[in-house]
Structures are given as C-alpha cells and as structure tokens.
C-alpha cells in the first residue's frame, strides 16, 4: 500500500542562545533548506520553494547558518545532503527543512527529487530507487554526532501520481508515523488521513502554505517552547482550514528531553560566540535552479549524455538554459542528424557544443556521418571582456581561410590572415578569432574553413549563449587564480578583501568562508550579476570583511552557478 506523506519533523534547541557541547566547544546551529516546485514527470507545486525561502530567512534571523537548494534533481539532492552532513560537527544542532512532494510506501516515507519518474500501481520500486528515505536523512545527521537532529518536512501537498488531482478536497489519504529516536521532535503538518492544504483557495495570495504561514508566525515569537509553538500552530491551522470546509490539524510527537525554546528575546549579548559577518547586506545571492535527468553540465559547452532531458526550471544567470537541447543547433529527437551530436573538447578547453549537419560540405576526404567527418568539427571558445565577446575557433587541420556568419543565413565573413606563415601550408595562417558585440543574443554561429587543397569544409553550426559562455569563462579564470580569491590587508584593523570574487561573480551562486581553519560556513553576500557589464562592481557593494587581529588564514568555498562546489581554498596571511 502506498500513500503520500504529509509531515513536518523537527527537533530544536534554543536558537537564540549559544550552548556549549559536551567537548566544551560552542555548538553551532546549521540548516539545510530544500524546496521543490518544478517536477518534470509528476504534478508541479506552487508554494514549496516560497515556503523554503521563508523558513530559511527566519532561521537565519535566529542564528542558523543556512544552506539552500531549490528544484533539485536526484543528483542535486544528494550533493546537498552530502555537503550539509559534512558541515556537522559533534554537538551541533542540525536542522533539515524540505518542502515538496513526499510519498509513503509500506510504512517508509520518501522525499521526491524533481526528476522522480512517473509511476503507476505496482511500480513502487521506481519511486524507492529515485527518492530519499526520511530515516536515512535522520541517520545521516545523527551519525555525524549532532547534539540535536532537526528535520522539517512539509511534504503532503497532493498525490503526485494521481493525474489531475487538486488540493481542494481531502481524499482520506493517510501518512506513515515517524518513530523518531530520542532527541527528535516530530511535528506533522496534518494528522493521520488528512491532506495539508497548499492554499485556502485559488484566490489565496499568501506566498506560503497554510501550515507554513502559521508555523512561521509562531516561530518568530520569542520565549515559546517547541511544544507551545506546536500547539498554537495546531489551533491556527485548524481554524484556517475549517474556514474553507477542510479538516487539517497538525500532530506532533515529542522525543526531546526538557523544554526547548526556539527564540529567546532575553538572551544576553555575550551569551553567544561572535560570528564575523559583513557589516551590511550587499544584495541577494543569485539562485541556481537545476531540474534535469541524464548528464548535463552547464559550462564547457553544455555536455549532453544519451537520453538527456532538460526539464523546466533550468536557470543560469536568471535565463532559461534549455538552449542545450533546442533548435536551431540541435535537431528534433527524430531527426537522423541527432546521432551526430557530440561534445567538442572538455572543461579545460572551454568549448561549446558543435553539431554536424548531414549536408556539411566535407570534400572528398570524408563523408557526412563518418568518424572522419566527426573528427573534423571545429571547437569554439568564448572570452568576455569590457569591449564584448571574442570567439576563437580551433580547427582540426591546416587551413588557408576561415569564415563565419551569425545565424544560418546571409554572407560569410572571412576573419582575415595573420602575419604568420603556417609551415604546413606555406601560406599565411587564418586569424582564428573574431569579435561579437557585448549585446550579442543567444543563437547559432556558423563557421567554415578552406583546406590547403582549396576544399571548402562546413558550415559547422556552434551554439552561443552569452550567459552560459560568461559563466564558463569566469569560472575558468577563477580556477586559474585560486590563490588570489581573497587578500589580507592591514588598514585600521585586519581586513580581507573579496574584490576578485566580486569581479567574477557571474560564475558564482554563493561564497562561504571560515577563519583560522574553521570550515567555510559563513556566507559573504555578493551583488547580483550584471550581464551587460559583468566585471564592474557596484559603488555600494561590500568588498571587504573586518576580521579579528589574530586571524592567520581564511578558507573559502564557492558554489558555482551550475550547482557544483569548488574545493575549499585556504589563503594564508603573510
């Protein structure tokens, strides 16, 4: 028997106070917040990401270091959990919040990533294999030695496998009870056999679900214990649901020893260890949303594996990145040319994906579709400067001329010749580079070249997306100058400058740092990426951090715009 789950699991300690763990060190408040709305194969949701954002914002106000992820597929979900568990040290308070689809199969509750496959009766294994058991998440946190394990799951919005099901009426579906171990508090967003309302009606403009809006209101009130918050949330949610004729009453199970205060307005100023933060918020981090199946890498040309599907919500630099599988450079799936789709180069080359068309003029040496023809496809790399784009073409064989055009119509323009002789041809080498406007839109660039025997080869279409190319170019630059990401300076105290990272921020989603060997958990906010002038730094941007005089080193870790993370980079003070 399978049933959707609707539960909120939590175990909190005082968020307003810094507490000592058993080893004498300060216990930290850590959180991972995930919201999934954009599902590729099952019904999408409307308020899960908004709920996650609101919970994350409130937890930060209460002193939590919050990792955030939105619309994550199975790989992204797993990466987020691994990174979160790696943050946890013995005695820490670790909170996990999830809003999105959940499902119960034979008493086990599963959280669904955005690429969970559609499933029918007797296909439960499809869900099990693609999803994340709640018990495994709890075990992962506890195995790291967390003093308090915190899970918050709002996962019973509707039945994701029920076709045109709407949330306007309960269908008597139940949920699996969570037998939490000692130290865990379980708060369900709805009781057994109840559905948790996403909204009161189609006209309900509140950005949060019925449960989350009530829970947030109580969470913000100082001095309440967790049980008091749970009971008052019960009252609020029950009344709201009853106003539209719906039966929903949150249930809770308390396995925490003693009273737990979530927010204490009476906390003394010196009761919590100081955390060095930038003085002022320089702007929001840029969200990266990934909703994919198969193998997709945004960056070095958008690598496409067999059977890859890019679903809704793939965003790079606030732009839809479905260009990786759409025309004009990529034909429909039933086009014979689809088999000629190949990756040109790799992450080290900064190449874009080239696609050979069946009518490419390859001369007498090779025929379209053969391995020889594939080997002769050129590689394009893109470099952004303040003046615009420079496109550099790498050819597979000696050439006497190179030409290009933007789009698939119009005249080809030759790049000209260099004052350099090619010893292979005895003629001047063609200029491998040409310029594009800084405002050049996404599209296709076609290139062709002439061999030493006078044969014209091509045209070869190469996809160009300025946002993807900018990300790839800036990431490459940062990876090559890892030792210069930040810089120590002594001026009216000890300062750490983040100027380099601000200059290349269009490749970065998030920056986190730690001092004197501490793990990089504290966030340094960056201004938003300006694709029209990507290297400029706003006048009001915070570019440095004041740190204690005894700081000897700073560890920095970046989250790239494609969702992956850099290695931890430690910069020593001279």
Give the separation between CA 204 and CA 201, rounded to whole angstroms. Answer: 5
Question: Residue 266 domain-assigned?
Answer: no
542 and 492 within one domain: yes
Q: By C-alpha distance, which of 507, 523, 531, 525 is closest to 556? A: 523
Per DSSP, the three-state class of 418 is: strand
Q: What is the pLDDT of residue 376?
A: 62
CATH of the domain at 438: 2.60.40
127 and 81 within one domain: yes
Side-chain-side CA neighbours of residue 68 (13 Å): 28
Question: Residue 475 domain-assigned?
Answer: no
- Considering 198, 221, 254, which residue would you say is the last residue of a domain? 254
Task: Render each residue's pLDDT in the chain as its tens digit; 574 residues.
Answer: 444 445 544 443 444 334 444 444 556 888 899 999 989 888 888 898 999 999 888 888 888 888 888 899 998 899 889 888 888 888 888 888 998 888 878 888 888 999 999 877 677 888 888 999 988 988 888 888 887 788 888 876 666 766 433 332 233 355 677 787 877 777 778 776 677 888 888 888 899 988 889 988 988 888 888 788 889 988 998 999 999 999 888 877 777 777 767 665 433 333 333 222 222 322 333 233 333 333 333 333 333 333 333 344 433 333 344 433 333 333 334 433 333 332 222 333 333 333 323 333 333 333 333 333 444 678 899 999 888 999 999 998 899 999 999 988 889 999 999 999 988 888 899 999 999 998 888 889 999 999 888 888 888 888 888 888 899 899 999 999 988 899 999 888 899 999 999 999 999 988 999 999 888 988 898 888 888 889 889 988 899 999 999 999 999 999 888 778 889 999 998 8
Give the separation between CA 282 and CA 255, rounded to whole angstroms. Answer: 41
- Decide: 515 and 553 in contact? Cβ < 8 Å: yes
Indicate left, alpha or beta for 363 from its phi (over 0: left) and psi (-120 to 50: alpha).
left
571 and 437 within one domain: no
- Considering 434, 464, 494, which residue would you say is the last residue of a domain? 464
536 and 448 within one domain: no
80 and 6 within one domain: yes
Question: Residue 181 domain-assigned?
Answer: yes
Phi then psi for 253, rounded to 5 degrees?
-130, 120
16 and 144 within one domain: yes
Into how many domains does the chain fold?
3
Q: What is the pLDDT of residue 290?
A: 32
119 and 189 within one domain: yes
**Pair of tokens at residue 499:** 């100027």
**Pair of tokens at residue 123:** 């296909």
Q: What is the pLDDT of residue 544?
A: 92
Q: How far is CA 192 from the centre of its chain?
A: 33
Question: Residue 529 domain-assigned?
Answer: yes
Note down the domain range covering 217: 2-254
Question: Residue 197 domain-assigned?
Answer: yes
340 and 316 within one domain: no
418 and 513 within one domain: no
315 and 344 within one domain: no
SS3 of 481-517 = CHHHCCEEEECCCEEEECHHHHHCHHHEEEEEEEECC
Q: By C-alpha distance, which of 117, 228, 105, 236 is closest to 176? A: 105
DSSP secondary structure letter of residue 323: G
- Considering 432, 464, 496, which residue would you say is the last residue of a domain? 464
Give the separation between CA 170 and CA 6, rounded to whole angstroms. Answer: 12
CATH of the domain at 81: 3.40.50.1460
Give the separation between CA 476 and CA 463, rounded to whole angstroms. Answer: 19
Question: Residue 167 domain-assigned?
Answer: yes
Question: Residue 458 domain-assigned?
Answer: yes
Phi then psi for 497, rounded to 5 degrees?
-95, 135
Give the separation between CA 385 and CA 388, rounded to whole angstroms. Answer: 5
DSSP secondary structure letter of residue 529: P
73 and 154 within one domain: yes
26 and 171 within one domain: yes
Per DSSP, the three-state class of 557 is: strand
Give the separation between CA 474 and CA 531, rounded to whole angstroms. Answer: 12
Question: Residue 499 domain-assigned?
Answer: yes
């Amino acid at each position: 028997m399978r049933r959707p789950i609707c539960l909120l699991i939590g175990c909190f300690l005082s968020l307003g106070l810094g507490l000592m763990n058993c080893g004498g060190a300060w216990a930290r408040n850590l959180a991972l917040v995930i919201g999934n709305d954009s599902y590729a194969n099952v019904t999408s949701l409307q308020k899960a990401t908004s709920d996650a954002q609101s919970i994350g914002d409130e937890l930060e106000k209460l002193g939590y270091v919050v990792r955030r992820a939105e619309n994550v597929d199975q790989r992204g979900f797993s990466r987020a959990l691994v990174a979160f568990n790696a943050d946890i040290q013995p005695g820490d308070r670790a909170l996990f919040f999830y809003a999105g689809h959940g499902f119960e199969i034979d008493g086990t509750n599963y959280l669904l990533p955005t690429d969970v496959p559609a499933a029918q009766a007797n296909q439960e294994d499809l869900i099990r294999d693609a999803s994340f058991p709640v018990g495994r998440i709890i075990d992962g946190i506890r195995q790291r030695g967390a003093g308090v394990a915190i899970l918050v799951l709002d996962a019973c919005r509707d039945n994701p496998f029920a076709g045109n099901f709407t949330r306007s009426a309960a269908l008597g579906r139940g949920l699996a009870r969570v037998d939490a171990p000692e130290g865990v508090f379980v708060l369900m967003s709805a009781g057994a056999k109840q559905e948790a309302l996403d909204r009161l009606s189609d006209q309900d403009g509140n950005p949060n679900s019925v449960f989350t809006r009530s829970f947030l209101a109580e969470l913000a009130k100082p001095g309440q214990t967790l049980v008091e918050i749970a009971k008052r949330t019960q009252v609020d949610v029950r009344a709201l649901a009853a106003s539209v004729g719906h039966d929903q009453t949150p249930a809770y199970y308390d396995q925490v020893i003693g009273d737990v205060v979530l927010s204490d307005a009476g906390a003394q100023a010196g009761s919590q260890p100081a955390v060095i933060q930038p003085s002022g918020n320089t702007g929001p981090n840029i969200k990266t949303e990934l909703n994919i199946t198969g193998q997709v890498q945004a960056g070095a040309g958008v690598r496409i594996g067999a059977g890859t599907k890019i679903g809704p919500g793939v965003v790079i630099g606030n732009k839809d990145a479905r260009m990786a599988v759409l025309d004009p450079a990529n034909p429909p799936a039933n086009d014979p040319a689809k088999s000629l789709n190949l990756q040109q180069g790799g992450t080290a080359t900064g190449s874009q994906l080239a696609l050979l068309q069946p009518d490419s003029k390859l001369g007498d040496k090779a025929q379209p579709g053969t391995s020889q023809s594939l080997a002769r496809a050129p590689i394009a790399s893109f470099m952004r400067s303040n003046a615009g784009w420079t496109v550099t073409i790498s050819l597979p064989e000696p050439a006497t001329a190179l030409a290009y055009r933007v789009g698939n119509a119009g005249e080809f323009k030759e790049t000209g010749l260099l004052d350099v002789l090619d010893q292979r041809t005895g003629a001047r080498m063609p200029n491998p580079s040409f310029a594009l406007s800084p405002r050049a839109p996404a599209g296709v660039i076609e290139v062709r070249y002439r061999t030493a025997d006078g044969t014209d080869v091509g045209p070869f279409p190469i996809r160009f997306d300025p946002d993807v190319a900018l990300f790839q170019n800036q990431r490459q630059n940062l990876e090559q100058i890892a030792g210069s990401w930040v810089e120590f300076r002594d001026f009216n105290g000890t300062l750490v400058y983040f100027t380099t990272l601000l200059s290349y921020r269009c490749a970065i989603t998030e920056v986190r740092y730690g001092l004197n060997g501490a793990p990089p958990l504290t966030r340094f906010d960056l201004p938003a990426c300006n694709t029209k002038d990507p290297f400029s730094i706003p006048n009001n941007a915070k570019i440095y951090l004041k740190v204690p005089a005894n700081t000897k080193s700073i560890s920095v870790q970046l989250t790239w715009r494609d969702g992956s993370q850099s290695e931890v980079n430690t910069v020593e003070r001279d």
